A and B are shown apart, each in its own frame.
Chain A
Amino acid sequence: MMPPSIALNRFGLGARPDDRPPDDPRRWLLSQLERFDPLPAPWRALPRTPQLAAGWVAHQRALRQAPQEQRSSLREAWRDSEGQTYRAALGARVAGALQTATPFAERLVHFWANHFAVSVDKRPVTSLAGGFEADAIRPHILGRFEDLLLAAVRHPAMLVYLDQVRSTGPDSVAGRRARRRGGNNAGLNENLAREILELHTLGVRSGYTQDDVTEFARALTGWTLPQDGEEGAAPFRFAPALHEPGSRRVLGRSHAPGGEEQARAILRELATAPATAEHIARKLARHFVADEPPAALVRRLAEAFLRSGGDLPNVYRELVLAPDAWAPGPGKFKSPWDWSISSLRALGRREMPAQAAANVLNQLGQPVWRPGSPAGYGDTAAAWAAPDALLRRVEVAQRLGAQAAAMVDARTLAPQVLPASLSQATRLAIARADSPATALALLFASPDFLRR
């Protein structure tokens, strides 16, 4: 692949027919960091997090107060509205990716949303996932990692997904009260603490212990959602009654008692730790360059992270300027999301009905905001290049080709989306296809287009 094609495909989301290949690919990528709009038009129509969180809290209350016989119809109505909220947000995500003039920055949104994965297989996340991306991820991808981390782990979607909302310090006011009553349904939940250490910051096997997890979980007690009757309040709340009193020792360092501030202080340290720099550097390099990224590249990104105190644009700049990132061979097998978005962009589509987009991504194995695991979706060929998955892509390619064949000529389109990089075999296959629809399907199913 030549540099203009690398910029469009490896760093971007694929070319649109109205895109001109960039004359200076590196500058084109870096300039996007100046032009990125955190809340572009498709997202502006959606309800934001405070409203979504208040809606959920209100539903919970209505459910509690309703007579038993009305509860199932309340639940059903709520499920419908959750589904509508989810589909609207999914439609906005797809439209945003199709329309954006800053595809590198948009790809960074997708990267970070997957790094801080929430999953709608936990029901309450269904209505909150779009708000999570709009409010916790999008405004922070060009700031400091610490702010992104804080925004992500304090968002109601994350607090709910990783079971933080009811985590109770055993010696907190609420914990002691529960014990006096003889109940054992108030206690510590260490899920969020563990995943922050393992997935969001230091990375697995970076030296923390079970005690660190438990201590961090104790520090996090009290980080929860707004209470009943607090509509209009911020969607994050610190509840002193749940918080475990006392100082905490995490990773060899003591943290004085300090309520909400205690966990914040731990997060601040995690956000700038060398292991975190290495972990983030490796994931970024893996996402953009290769499943097994060059060690020198990872080092270079980690150093930029540490040097700048986790200032993310500094790290992105190193990535774009690193010669390793421009190796001509296709470095990556596209994920289903990448592949679907780049196919639709190539066809000049500006949006797709949310239900149709959801169906395609379900069939291709990467439903939006549903990785089913806090680790997010895999980011290597091994996760996506499988026999059945490939067959499904060909089936989708056929359908896309059939829909667009009247308007688009694959022979013209192919060199546009793969400038100076189209292989002879793919060019020939397209030229020899027996119909415009088959020609388009072959472009999307081609080895050139499946990789970036």
Chain B
Amino acid sequence: MSLDRRAFLARAAALLAAPRVAFAGDALPTARRFVFIIQRGAADGLHTLIPTADPHYARLRGALAIDPETALKLDGSFGLHPSLATLHGLYQAGQASFVHAIASPYRERSHFDGQNILETGGRTPFAVKDGWMNRLVGMLSQRGRDAIAFAPTVPMALRGALAVPSYAPSGLPDANEDLMQRVAQLYAHDAELHALWSAALEARGMAGGADPRARRQAPGELGRMAAGFLARADGPRIAMIDTGGWDTHTGQGGRLAAQLRNLDALVGGLRQGLGPAWMDTVVLVATEFGRTAAANGTGGTDHGTGAAAMLLGGAVQGGRVLADWPGLAPADLFEGRDLRPTLGLDTLIAQACAETFRLDPGRMARTLFPDTPGGKALPQLLRS
């Protein structure tokens, strides 16, 4: 994108009346960045964060089990999948914590319901009509515009009262300035299209400096592209990155190795692109629910309950595995088939957000998860 075009976009955006999507011109009240990476499809926590000391793991997983010798050692009880070398390095540097046997309040096994609960912060599917990240943005600033979704459309977690833009790199030629301006006029009296168009122009303007090669969507490039937005002094402070492909009913060994390698590269790209701002960043990785403790008959796993989550970033007080480990003995499994959840994902999210933005934890929990009774608090998650 040429400088002329950027200048045009700024002008075009300025021409449009409110609601103007602004990533805040003045200094934001915080330097902290919060990134939520969603793993759609129920990522297998037992394949990601390996319970190397649990005697039942190898039996349940059979050929799918990750050999404790090849797992990247974390502590005496857990290891990481071998594809997660960057995350392992962060752990060793005290910038990554891993959480196990964690779950949202959802106890059924539908992806679509599970994702809705994870994203809205409700206790039953489709009961809450906006997303917890949108409400989080609302707590942060009067302007309330400092969030972005790196996805072709705005995911449920960021939908709600505040307009949030989405951005995904495109391989299309840019539209010409005259057409852009005429379209803006044409949408002036259409509330829905006007708001979408203003947000689109603003986001494109901000991506002006991004490497066009980021359009290739390689995970590392995606991370660096997202970091390009977040690293700016006037950039968004909250972002969501959508990842899919975690539903592994068959051929899980190879597929998850590739998925996890991509996640590892995505986080690596974020860290690299953020530069010094990485020290102010918290990345939370979570999925809608876990998978069955035992492998199924087709080299995969089916929909389950307890899962793993991750907290990454320079602001994290890392080097820990947080798990109230329930065990994998037959009697310890949830409904005889799943890892039993012992920690609330709601609790982790609310506490991580409260510590990130230094807001009252009680108020944060009530705003993000209005229907959830407070769970047991976790130890302090971030550096103070």
Contacts and interface: CB of A to CB of B under 8 A. Distances in A.
A375 B116 CA distance: 14
Given A194-B109, A205-B125, A385-B192, A395 B153 contact: no
A399 B179 CA distance: 11
A185 B62 CA distance: 8
Given A166-B298, A447-B186, A387 B197 contact: yes
A205 B108 CA distance: 9
Interface in A190-215: 190-191, 194, 198, 204-205, 210, 213
A168 interface: yes
A191 B197 contact: no
Of the listed residues A163, A198, A213, A391, the one surrounded by the most CB atoms of chain B closer than 10 A to its CB is: A391
Contact of A163 (B111, B200, B300): B300
Nearest to B169: A388
Interface string B196-208: 1111110110000
A19 B79 CA distance: 65
B380 interface: no
A442 B179 contact: yes
A450 interface: yes
A394 interface: yes
B178 A384 contact: no
Interface stretch (A30-38, A278-286, A339-347, A433-441): A433-441
Interface stretch (B160-168, B262-270, B278-286, B307-315): B160-168
B335 to A, nearest CB: 7
B250 A386 contact: no
A436 B157 CA distance: 42
Contacts of B182: 429, 433, 438, 442
Contact of A386 (B185, B190, B196): B196
Interface residues of B, number: 58
Interface residues of A, number: 58
B170 A363 contact: yes
A22 interface: no
A391 B174 CA distance: 9
A125 to B, nearest CB: 13
A160 to B, nearest CB: 9
A74 interface: no
Contacts of A185: 62-63, 297-299
A213 B296 CA distance: 14
Nearest to A438: B179
Given A189-B300, A382-B159, A388 B178 contact: no
A408 interface: no
B295 interface: yes
A189 B63 contact: no
Contacts of A446: 186
A381 B154 CA distance: 11
Contacts of B174: 395
A121 interface: yes
- Which of B41, B152, B197 has most A Cβ within 10 Å? B152
Nearest to A192: B249
A425 B188 CA distance: 10
A175 B298 CA distance: 12
26 contacts: A163-B300, A175-B297, A187-B296, A189-B297, A363-B171, A372-B245, A385-B153, A386-B152, A386-B196, A387-B198, A389-B152, A389-B166, A390-B200, A391-B200, A394-B180, A398-B173, A426-B186, A429-B185, A438-B182, A441-B175, A442-B182, A442-B183, A445-B183, A446-B186, A447-B186, A450-B193
**Chain A to chain B: the 9 pairs with minimum beta-carbon distance, closest first:** A187-B297, A387-B200, A386-B153, A387-B199, A391-B200, A395-B172, A163-B249, A365-B152, A184-B62
Given A189-B298, A387-B166, 7 more contacts: A185-B63, A190-B296, A386-B154, A387-B198, A391-B204, A399-B172, A442-B182
